[in-house]
Amino acid sequence: MKLQIFGFAAIVAMAITGVDYSMQARATGQSLGQLGATGYVDTITGRFQSAADARALKTRQKQAVKIHLPEAPEGWIRQEWAKSDTTRFESIRRDMSSWEIRTLSAVEVAPMMAGMVATDVQLATKLRRESIWVYERGGEMIALRVVYNKNGKARRFPGLDTGIEEANIEGINSAVPYAFVQGIGFGEVRVDREITGPVTYRGFSASMGDDIMIAVRADASDASILALMGAIDYDGLNGMLDVPLAGVGTDAAKLDPARAMELAAKALEQRRAALLGDEPVAPEVIAAVEEAPVEASPEAEAVEEPAIGIGFDTVTSMPGQKCVRKTGSSFCSGFTTE
């Protein structure tokens, strides 16, 4: 009886193997005779490896994205948003209407507007804890936020989701090239002071495909801002994407500052075009820049100067400038002097 059972099991196994062999031959465009035993074993090895890679990817995607933000550089401290005095990074407007409150909340949640969730909305406390680190040294303060949404989908703010999407798009549309860091183009976001009230901070943002967005809010020197941008683990972030970007992180090419700024501008334009449906984002998001070291400013001596190209002045807007809006938009597209 046992021999019959074993025999039946062997026949079933052989049948399954035969069917699988035939399927793999068709999948590789070969005839049954061409695939051969060695080729078939190779398909098994490849499928096991593909399954292992898929499991590893899911593990990376389940990790807290915040782990890819840098440790505090020498001379700096790193704290949670809740433990830092972030008053200078928050709106000081008072007596706002309900519409203005909603608009400000959408801007604060939108990472491409350099939003730091400095608002009282559902999940705000959790999002700040899970996605933001605040870095301080002397009078300088920089907040980094990184957001991962698989397939770019994250609708969990009832009544605000549409406004957040619009603010993210407006952030990209109104940004000016600032730096090209390890293959990622950062733009400086123009703050709409009619929404936020007077602020002293500057805002920056970048995206890695549709799934990862990086926000920076800073009251610090360019040297310090660039140092922290350069310390982000872009390889780790890239490893969370279903299809990693080429030329990012340690794979970034060495470029001179002028070329780096050209590519920063190009990265922003590609992203704008993709959002408007004009053309797809290039899968290779250009290579990053590693310049020769430049002399650090006195206030940034404790931070190693990163090899990054920078291409915008340090002032976001000046008193007397007027917000310019596109038709139907609640957000600034830029500023003009009156």
Tell me the pLDDT of the chain (338 aa) as tens digits.
554 454 545 554 554 555 455 655 555 555 545 555 565 455 555 555 556 656 766 777 788 899 999 999 999 999 999 999 999 998 877 778 888 888 888 888 889 989 998 888 878 899 899 999 999 999 999 999 999 988 766 667 777 878 888 888 888 888 899 999 999 999 999 877 777 777 889 999 999 988 999 999 999 999 999 999 999 999 999 999 999 999 999 999 888 888 988 999 998 888 888 776 655 444 333 333 333 333 333 343 444 434 444 443 333 333 333 444 444 443 444 444 44
CA–CA distance, 316 with 188 (Å, rounded to integer): 8
* pLDDT value for 307: 40
Its pTM stands at 0.69
* pLDDT value for 280: 44
Task: Of 195, 11, 174, 33, give the one whose Cα is nearest residue 102.
Answer: 195
Question: Could you tell me if 188 and 203 are in contact, meaning their C-beta atoms sit under 8 angstroms apart?
Answer: yes
CA–CA distance, 17 with 104 (Å, rounded to integer): 61
Task: Report how far apart, in Å, the C-alpha atoms of 39 and of each of 19, 42, 43, 47, 49 are.
Answer: 15, 5, 6, 12, 15
In DSSP notation, 126-144 reads HHHHHHEEEEEETTEEEEE
Task: Of 104, 14, 30, give the one whose Cα is nearest residue 38.
Answer: 30
* pLDDT value for 303: 40
Question: Could you tell me if 130 and 69 are in contact, meaning their C-beta atoms sit under 8 angstroms apart?
Answer: no
Task: Of 203, 217, 168, 90, give the one whose Cα is nearest residue 331.
Answer: 168
* pLDDT value for 49: 53
Question: Could you tell me if 173 and 272 are in contact, meaning their C-beta atoms sit under 8 angstroms apart?
Answer: yes
The C-alpha angle with vertex 54 and arms to 52 and 55, in degrees rounded to 5, equals 65
* pLDDT value for 41: 56
C-alpha dihedral sign at 58, 155, 106, 169? positive
Cβ atoms < 10 Å from Cβ of 73: 18
**Who's near 73: CB < 8 A, 6+ residues apart?**
135, 227, 228, 231, 302, 303, 304
Question: Could you tell me if 179 and 309 are in contact, meaning their C-beta atoms sit under 8 angstroms apart?
Answer: yes
* pLDDT value for 283: 37
Residue type, 178: Y
Task: Report how far apart, in Å, the C-alpha atoms of 270 and of each of 63, 234, 273 are.
Answer: 29, 19, 5
Q: What is the DSSP letter of 183?
A: T
CA–CA distance, 48 with 309 (Å, rounded to integer): 43
CA–CA distance, 187 with 204 (Å, rounded to integer): 6
CA–CA distance, 117 with 123 (Å, rounded to integer): 9
* pLDDT value for 301: 41
Q: How many CA atoms lie within 13 A of 199 on its CB side?
A: 23
Task: Of 166, 177, 151, 160, give the one whose Cα is nearest residue 61.
Answer: 151
Strands (E), 176-222: 176-181, 184-189, 202-208, 212-219
Residue type, 241: L
